[in-house]
Amino acid sequence: MKNPRFFSYIKFIIPLIFFSDVSVAESYYAVVDAGSSGSRLYLYKKSTDAQGYPVAESLPLTANKVKPGISVYVNQLAKVGDYIEPLLNTLDTELKSKGIPQSEVNFSLMATAGMRVESPNLQNAVYDEVKAKVKAMLPGVNIQYVLTIQGRYEGAFQWLTVNYLNGNLATGAETTCMLETGGGSYQMTWQTSSKLKNSIDVFSLNYGSTPYTLFSESFTGLGGNYSREDATDDPNSFAVGYSLVSGATGTGNYKKGLVGTRKFIRARDISIPTSVKVPALNKCIGVSLFSSVAKDLKLGDSVSSKRIDEAAKVVAATPWSVQVSEQPNNPRLFSRVDSAQLASELIRTWFPGNRELPVADAINGTELSWTLGATLFLGSGNSLPTTW
């Protein structure tokens, strides 16, 4: 005799198995972007959609940034704990206020270009201090990574961020190339169809169950901080009348300053494999420095070398005293000319011609931070190399 209660149960449970949109249990990722100029904490709630793809939601934090960059403390190990403590305090407060158990939190601190130039022994000593502080203040969290990430992964994480927010991942849509210049390095990342032999800059990662092969190259030293340092004694990289530390005065000769920036870029190994196809500039998005230059020069939501040069020449020729009177509270005022020269020459070096580069510092209201991509990367089961 058939059991009607059994078949009633089966009729109820089968739709749940095959048609449920309920996501699996949530977890949380706390990621510290330990950059060249400072360290910034981000917190994400990560879940998985019905198709098995990670979904990450940025949770707002207060007081989530400390300065200077963590590399300052490689010879001051006793101060590392005090340096990172404000970020851990913020994380502890937010977890308590949101009722999130520490056991559900994965913690990572990932340093970038500022630490890449330090010896591995000094780096590891700093990271040992960080881990000890985390264990003391947040004993329940899972410490995933405390390390310096390779530049190619920094680029890959930002690529994931851009394409996730644009809705390109796991949809069959064309993905967007990503160009980023931070304080200490320049990254170029795009999807490629072939994996080149003996090239560490071409590698694969998964977003959920979908694999992507990327070309991602990073150039340490081609960042805004290094460029400003290189231009410190070049009067042609500053507006007319600006007083340099050397005692010289800015000439506003923008075109001549471009020549110096070109030499600065080409003094490094800027080659990429000849078999790597460079995408069209308008298929990319420029973030960080590119977005800042567009905003400073009022160029809208895209830039080109030609338009940057035209606008920056006007800025360079405007007396420094006039600029200060017009924008007394602009902290980037002194570096506008040099930043424009760097952005213009970076585009010109790899993307000749006058095509426009779309730029953004946010997509759909979400800040473009590579830490979001790191969360998607880790949430998809990928792992980072822990040695260089």
49-91: pLDDT as tens digits: 999 999 999 999 988 999 999 999 999 999 999 999 999 999 9
Phi, psi of 64 (to 5 degrees): -105, 20
Where is pLDDT greater, at 21 or 349?
Answer: 349
> Residue 130, CB half-sphere, CA atoms under 13 Å: how many?
26
Q: How confident is the model at residue 99 (pLDDT cuts 50, 70, 90)?
A: very high
Query: Is the Cβ–Cβ distance between 113 and 184 less than 8 Å?
Result: yes
Q: Are 125 and 171 in contact (CB under 8 A)?
A: no
Average pLDDT for residues 153-167, to the nearest whole number? Answer: 97
pLDDT at res. 346: 96
pLDDT at residue 10, as a whole number: 36
Q: Are 346 and 186 in contact (CB under 8 A)?
A: yes
CATH 3.30.420.40 placement within the chain: 27-148
* Model pLDDT, residue 76: 97
Residue 141 has pLDDT above 70, yes or no: yes
Instruction: Give the whole-angstrom CA distance, residue 225 versus residue 71.
Output: 14
Neighbouring CB atoms inside 10 A of 144's CB total 19
pLDDT at position 352 is 85
- Single-letter code of the amino acid located at 336: R
Query: What integer is the mean pLDDT of 86-109?
Result: 97
Confidence (pLDDT) at 12: 34
Residue 49 sits at φ, ψ, to 5 deg, of -80, 180
pLDDT digits (tens, 9 = 90+) for 288-336: 999 999 999 999 999 999 999 999 999 999 999 999 999 999 988 999 9
Cis peptide, bond prior to residue 68, ω within 30 of zero = yes
Q: Considering the chain, tell me which residue range(s) the CATH 3.30.420.150 domain(s) occupy.
A: 175-366
Of 3.30.360.10, 3.90.650.10, 3.30.420.150, 3.30.70.340, which CATH number belongs to 175-366?
3.30.420.150
Q: Mean pLDDT, to the nearest integer, of 16-32?
A: 64
pLDDT band at 26 (very low <50, low <70, confident <90, very high): confident
Selection from 296, 301, 292 nearest residue 356 by Cα: 301
> Rounded distance, CA 164 to CA 233, Å?
42
- pTM beyond 0.85: yes
C-alpha–C-alpha distance, residues 178 and 163, integer Å: 9
Query: What b/e sequence results for 75-86 when a residue is b if at least 16 CB atoms lie within 10 Å of its CB, and e otherwise?
Result: eeeeebbebbee
Q: What is the DSSP string of 168-212?
A: -TTTTPPPPEEEEE-SSEEEEEEE-SS--TT-TTEEEEEETTEEE
What is the mean pLDDT of the segment spanning 103-119?
95
Domain 27-148: assigned CATH number: 3.30.420.40
Cα Dmax for the chain: 100
Q: Reply yes or no on whether the pLDDT at 356 is more than 60.
A: yes
Which band of pLDDT confidence, cut at 50, 70 and 90, is reported for residue 197? Answer: low
Q: Distances in Å between the alpha carbon of 36 and those of 66, 183, 184, 261, 331? A: 11, 6, 6, 20, 17
Place of tokens 């994996």: 195
Tell me what the mean pLDDT of segment 9-29 comes to: 50
Instruction: Name the strand (E) or helix (H) holding 130.
Output: helix 120-137
Q: What is the pLDDT of residue 274?
A: 83
Q: How confident is the model at residue 24 (pLDDT cuts 50, 70, 90)?
A: low
pLDDT, residue 198, reads: 64
Q: Is 371 exposed, middle or buried (0-12, 13-18, 19+ CB in 10 A)?
A: buried
What tokens appear for 93 in the block? 């407060």
Which has the minimum average pLDDT: 78-87, 107-116, 190-199, 297-306? 190-199
Give 288-334 as a DSSP string.
EHHHHHHHHTT-TTEE-HHHHHHHHHHHHHS-HHHHHHH-TT-TTGG
**Pairing relationship of beta strands 357-358 and 284-288 according to DSSP bridges:** unpaired
* Predicted pLDDT at 233: 84
Tokens (6 digits) for 258: 């471009």
Q: From CA 91, how far away is CA 71, in angstroms rounded?
A: 22
8 A C-beta contact, residue 87 and residue 64: yes
245 — pLDDT class (breaks 50, 70, 90): confident
Residues whose CB is less than 8 angstroms from the CB of residue 167 and which lie 6 or more positions away in sequence, other chains included: 173
- Cα 14 from Cα 5, distance rounded (Å): 14
* 136-143 average pLDDT score: 98
Q: Find the mean pLDDT for residues 38-59.
A: 96
Specify burial of residue 276 (Cβ count, 10 A radius: 0-12, 13-18, 19+): middle
